[in-house]
Amino acid sequence: MPATSIDYYETLGVSRTADGATIKSAYRKLAMQHHPDRNPGCNESEGKFKAISEAYDCLKDPQKRAAYDQYGHERYTQAASGGGGGRGHPGGDFADLGDIFETIFGGFAGGGGRQQARRGADLRYNLEVTLVEAFHGAERQITIETSQVCETCEGDGAEPGTGLRTCNLCKGVGQVRAQQGFFMVERTCPNCHGRGQVIEKPCHSCGGEGRVDKPTTLDITIPKGVDTGTRIRLSGKGEAGPFGSAPGDLYIFLRVKDHKVFERDGSNLVTEVPISFTTAALGGCISIPNLDGETVSIDIPAGIQSGKQLRRRGAGMPVLQARGRGDLIAEIVVETPTKLSKEQKAILEQFRETETGDECPNSKGFFDRLKDAFAG
């Protein structure tokens, strides 16, 4: 199967907008189904398990996932493997892939030394808020399942009372060297995973991972003026780092739900306001209840037409992390009456008899243009 026909999202059966919890849940379900221990001797299940693990390794990490979404499967996997698609010349795609490789995997290492402990993975959580919450700001509480430091071994991964020994593959360095194309690169030791030490006896609570999955409840502060796509970062609230290293961050991605009355346009609020044809002809005043609880009054000039927008400055949405507010925009819709009394009809008939055509210049101009078009 060509690399371009593979899609990590399809492999895990999730949408491209799925959050971290959904991706993890899908991975666990598929991993249990296709794990080699559950399907001994089945090459198909073994292949699927490898594909599932490869997809999850990418999508669980926000940085890798962002690179995958931006560059696509083929270029991402070329960068991950250190290859340049067979291109031996400098610059071009080969240089671009090197940049991706450096961004995602830390680049081409040299100089030796134990690898710095890798921090925990960042997490993504999608949160919907109402337009009213976006206007006033809000406090929300969410519950997510994250990896937390194991209380039994305190993140060490070793059964209490036992110890660690130096890794015999990397000799305690945490990295191994390998030839990759034109370069000699250093990669994380597959035996100790960069730690430089291996566990003699794994902790019975976490199985040697140093982390356990637990539900966590967090309080989220939604500032005034947020919009769809606004990102809130909670430092240190992501996955616990391996073996006691620093935790990752949690990113809250907001989506503001549609409102029944107002449509948002940046920091402006737009609403359609129906008015009677008499108000449109004679002028008047309209009152609009706003999201702040106040009533906004807007004068209607005589002769206004449908589609005309009237603006009240400073009555729109708060501007995020700044002072001031956008505008409230009332889009006028002139409503033609459908039920008239005999008296009203008589009055309108009298009005029609007095019309000269100058009352509605657009209509007169339209029919004049029609006459000219057919006359010519």
Note the pLDDT of residue 1.
Answer: 38
Question: 267-313, pLDDT tens digit by residue?
Answer: 999 999 999 999 999 999 999 999 999 999 999 999 999 999 999 99
Lowest mean pLDDT among 59-73, 202-216, 219-233: 59-73
Q: Is 192 annotated in some ligand binding site?
A: yes
Q: Are 298 and 288 in contact (CB under 8 A)?
A: yes
Q: Are 114 and 173 in contact (CB under 8 A)?
A: yes
Question: 254-269, pLDDT tens digit by residue?
Answer: 999 999 999 999 999 9
Asked if residue 229 belongs to a domain, the reply is no
Task: Indicate the number of domains in the chain.
Answer: 1
Asked if residue 141 belongs to a domain, the reply is no
Mean pLDDT (the chain) is 83
Q: Is 150 annotated in some ligand binding site?
A: yes
Burial 153-176 (b: 16+ CB within 10 A, else e): bebbbbbeeeebeebeebeebbbb
Angle at alpha carbon of residue 185, lines to 183 and 190, rounded to 5°: 145
CA distances (Å), 247 to each of 212, 231, 237, in order?
13, 19, 7
Lowest mean pLDDT among 135-149, 178-192, 322-336: 178-192
pTM: 0.59
The alpha carbons of the chain give a radius of gyration, in whole angstroms, of 32
Q: Is 58 annotated in some ligand binding site?
A: no
Residue 165 CA to residue 155 CA, distance in Å, equals 16
Residue 95 CA to residue 361 CA, distance in Å, equals 65
2 pLDDT higher than 70: no
Asked if residue 57 belongs to a domain, the reply is no
Note the pLDDT of residue 341.
Answer: 94
Q: Is 203 annotated in some ligand binding site?
A: yes
Question: 85-110, pLDDT tens digit by residue?
Answer: 433 333 333 334 444 444 444 444 44
Q: Averaging pLDDT over each range in 46-50, 183-187, 372-376, which range is the top one?
A: 46-50
Residue 84 CA to residue 78 CA, distance in Å, equals 6
Asked if residue 128 belongs to a domain, the reply is no
Q: Which of 278, 216, 221 is nearest to 247 (CA)?
A: 216
Note the pLDDT of residue 41.
Answer: 77
Q: Are 150 and 211 in contact (CB under 8 A)?
A: yes
Residue scoring higher pLDDT (118 or 44):
44
The band of 179, judged by pLDDT with boundaries at 50, 70 and 90, is: confident
Note the pLDDT of residue 359.
Answer: 64
Asked if residue 75 belongs to a domain, the reply is no
Asked if residue 136 belongs to a domain, the reply is no
75 pLDDT higher than 70: yes
Note the pLDDT of residue 4.
Answer: 46
Note the pLDDT of residue 28.
Answer: 85
Note the pLDDT of residue 282.
Answer: 94
The mean pLDDT of 236-262, rounded to a whole number, is 91
Asked if residue 227 belongs to a domain, the reply is no
Q: Which of 204, 178, 200, 205 is nearest to 189 (CA)?
A: 178
Residue 205 burial (10 A CB sphere; 0-12, 13-18, 19+): middle
- For 333: left if phi > 0, alpha if psi spans -120 to 50, otherwise beta; the answer is beta
Q: Is 42 annotated in some ligand binding site?
A: no
Q: Is 285 annotated in some ligand binding site?
A: no
Residue 100 CA to residue 168 CA, distance in Å, equals 32
Asked if residue 305 belongs to a domain, the reply is yes
CA atoms 65, 71, 75, 81: torsion sign: negative
Q: Which of 248, 221, 284, 306 is nearest to 61 (CA)?
A: 248
Q: Is 189 annotated in some ligand binding site?
A: yes
Tokens of 263: 């449509």
- Contacts of residue 153, defined as CB under 8 A and 6 or more positions apart, other chains included, come to 159, 160, 203, 205, 206, 210
The band of 241, judged by pLDDT with boundaries at 50, 70 and 90, is: confident
**Segments forming the whole domain that contains residue 345:** 263-375
Residue 128 CA to residue 291 CA, distance in Å, equals 18
Q: Averaging pLDDT over each range in 82-91, 148-157, 190-199, which range is the top one?
A: 148-157
CATH number at residue 281: 2.60.260.20
